[in-house]
Amino acid sequence: MNILHFWRALWGIVGRELRRFATQRERFISALVRPLIWLFVFAAGFRAALGLAITPPYQTYILYEVYITPGLIGMIQLFNGMQSSLSMVYDREMGSMRSLLVSPLPRWFLLVSKLLAGTFVSILQVYVFLAIAWIYKIHAPWQGYLWIVPALILSGLMLGALGLLLSSFIKQLENFAGVMNFVIFPMFFLSTALYPLWKLKESSLPLYHLAQYNPFSQAVELIRFALYGQLNQEALLYTLASFMVFITAAIIGYNPSKGMMVKKGGG
C-alpha cells in the first residue's frame, strides 16, 4: 500500500458521496426545508416572545433571525451527519462500504474519508442556506462567509463522528430512524441554537447546565462567533475534544476484534 492507494480511496469515497448527493434531490431539498421553516415561520413567533437579544459575539441588539441563523446552520450539519450515518448502515450491510471495510486499507482511514465526504456535502448545503438567508436580508460580514469554513469543517466532523459512532451500534436499517430522533431532538432543543444561555438560565438551571455542556451547543457557538469574525476558544476546544472522543469510539466500534461489530458477526 502506498499513498496513491490512499488518495484514490479518499477521492473515490468523496466522489461517490457527491454523486449520490447530486442525484438525490429530495435529500438536498429536505435538508433545507427544516431550517428554512424555522427561519421564515417559527422565528416570527419567537421574535414576538423574545424580542431583541443582546448576546456575544454581537455586543449589540440584534434581530432574532440573525441570532438563530448559526443554530440553523448547526441543524443542517446535525441532520446531515445523521443522514450520512444512515447510509453507512446500509452501505456496511449491502453497499460499497461492505467491500471497503474488508480491503487492505485501514478502517480508521475509510471511516475518516466517509466523514470528510459527509462534511463536504454539509458545507455545500450550508452555503445554499446562507444564500437564501441573504436574499431574506439576513446578512453577516462578508469576511464571515470565509472565516466560518474552518468552524464548519470541525463541527461537521464532530457531528458526523457522532452519527458514525451510533451506526456502529446499529445492525438493522429500520432501527436507525428511532435512534436518530432520540439523539437529534434532545441535542437540538437542549442547546443554544434557539435560545441564548442566559435565557435558559433564567428559565431553568438544570436546562442551562445541560445546554452548556451539550457538544452541539459548543459547535453552534463556534459557528456563531466565526460568522462574525471572532474565535470562541472554549467552543473550539470543546468541539475538538468531542470530535476526538466520538471518532475514537467509532473506530473502536468498527473494529471487528474489539468493538460492537464483533457481536454482529463482522463488518
Tens-digit pLDDT profile for residues 161-189 = 998 888 887 766 666 667 777 888 889 88
pTM of the entire predicted model: 0.83
User: What size, in residues, is the chain?
Assistant: 267
- Strand, coil or helix: 256: coil
Query: Helix count (H) and strand count (E) of the chain?
Result: 12, 2
Dihedral, CA of residue 67, residue 72, residue 74 and residue 76, to nearest 10: -160
Residue pair 43/67 in contact (Cβ under 8 Å)? The answer is: no
Residue 136 pLDDT exceeds 90: no
CA distance 193 to 221: 8
Please state the separation of Cα 82 from the chain's center in Å.
8
pLDDT tens digits, one per residue of 203-228 = 788 888 898 899 999 999 999 999 98
> Burial level of 202, CB count in 10 A (0-12/13-18/19+)?
exposed
Instruction: Indicate the pLDDT class of residue 49, thresholds 50, 70 and 90.
Output: low
pLDDT tens digits, one per residue of 63-72 = 666 778 898 9
**Residue 249 CA: distances (Å) to CA of 53, 115, 253, 265:** 38, 14, 6, 19
